[in-house]
Amino acid sequence: MKSSSADPVRSSAPGAHGHEAARHSTPPRGILGLPDRLPYQVTRTQPSDELRWCIDRFWTSAWQIPPGRAVTARVLPHPTVNLTLESGELVITGVARGVFNRTLTGNDRVFGIKLRPGVARLLIDIEVGALSGQGQPAEAVMGLAAELAEQLRGCRRDRERIAVTEALFGSRLAGPSAELSLVQEAVAALTSDPDVRRVRDVTGQLGVSERTLQRLFADYLGLTPGWVLRRGRLHAAAERLIQLAASATSERTALADVAAEFGYADQAHLTNDFTKIIGLPPASWLSTLISEHPAG
């Protein structure tokens, strides 16, 4: 499965060399699927403490689709970049502006490295915004890609792949600059802080001007702060709608409550934003998920 900027979770295993893999019973934000009905499994492993500033997590996606069948995996990307080893090739995937779709068939698995926001700028030879949101060969744009790919191909287990990745990153990256740390703080606030409803809420917290934040986001992310805020809000709304899908709450009441909870002006604004990015209004989207991924 080519990488997106979010990775699904269905099962996990203990991490290697002191790492701990996180276990979740529901998909994390960004995964457009119903709990316990995803057609693939992903193991997520946290990096070592020394590399947490540049690596968000390691992940492995695996699927077994019966012959003659195909399923669609859908992800609403986070504002970051992934590296994936797919059939021996190292792929780098930027942030897709819309939904990332991938048709899954047969049996396969992918090893992934989800970078922290802004870290790709330290690794690639082109502007971050020029990276394809559908993935491209990493060796064409990333100086250490050939060495990393060669080492990863020589590994038999994920724990070995994690170890060689951390060794290479640790030797090539000195640490976060003040600017990168500021960008990462701003992204976290824009996407996770329920009290943040406007970009200026974050600039006020961090003591920077909106113009400065816009410049840093363009440089490190290839995105605007407003885009990141809207994406984080849509992530949260989609997650809540999935949680409410099986409840007895009426659709109208549920949508109105979700709109109010996540800072939309009203239900119509939530529906419009949802439809523009995901391609379907919320109720139709949930019906599609249920039909595509039936229980049992």
CB-based contact 53:175 (threshold 8 Å)? yes
Give the C-alpha separation, 187 to 209, whole Å: 15
For domain 177-296, give its CATH number from 3.90.1280.10, 3.30.830.10, 3.40.50.970, 1.10.10.60.
1.10.10.60
Mean per-residue pLDDT pooled into runs of 10, the chain (296 residues) = 45 39 54 76 92 96 91 88 95 92 90 98 96 95 97 96 98 96 97 89 94 98 96 89 62 76 87 90 78 60
Inter-CA distances, 97 with 75, 80, 254, Å:
11, 12, 26
How would DSSP label each residue in 87-129? TTEEEEE---SS-EEEEE-SEEEEEEEEEPTTGGGGTBSS-GG
Give the C-alpha separation, 42 to 6, whole Å: 11
CB-based contact 274:282 (threshold 8 Å)? yes
In which order are the strands placed within the sheet that holds 82-86? 41-45, 55-64, 107-115, 82-86, 89-93, 136-137
pLDDT at residue number 14 = 34
User: By CB neighbour count within 10 A (0-12 exposed, 13-18 middle, 19+ buried), where does 188 fall?
Assistant: middle
pLDDT at residue number 11 = 36
Residue entry with tokens 């492995």? 60
| Helix residue ranges, H only, 24-177 | 145-153, 158-172
pLDDT at residue number 248 = 46
Query: What tokens appear for 57 in the block?
Result: 């997590």
User: By CB neighbour count within 10 A (0-12 exposed, 13-18 middle, 19+ buried), where does 68 fall?
Assistant: exposed
pLDDT at residue number 43 = 86
Query: What tokens appear for 180 in the block?
Result: 């990168």
pLDDT at residue number 283 = 79
pLDDT at residue number 71 = 85
pLDDT at residue number 100 = 87
CB-based contact 61:41 (threshold 8 Å)? yes
pLDDT at residue number 23 = 39
Give the C-alpha separation, 223 to 214, whole Å: 8
Prediction pTM value:
0.85
Which run of H or of E encompasses 55? Answer: strand 55-64
pLDDT at residue number 116 = 98
Smallest CA-to-CA distance from 202 within 233, 226, 231, 235 is with 226
How crowded is the C-beta side of 182, counted as CA atoms within 13 Å? 21
pLDDT at residue number 35 = 65
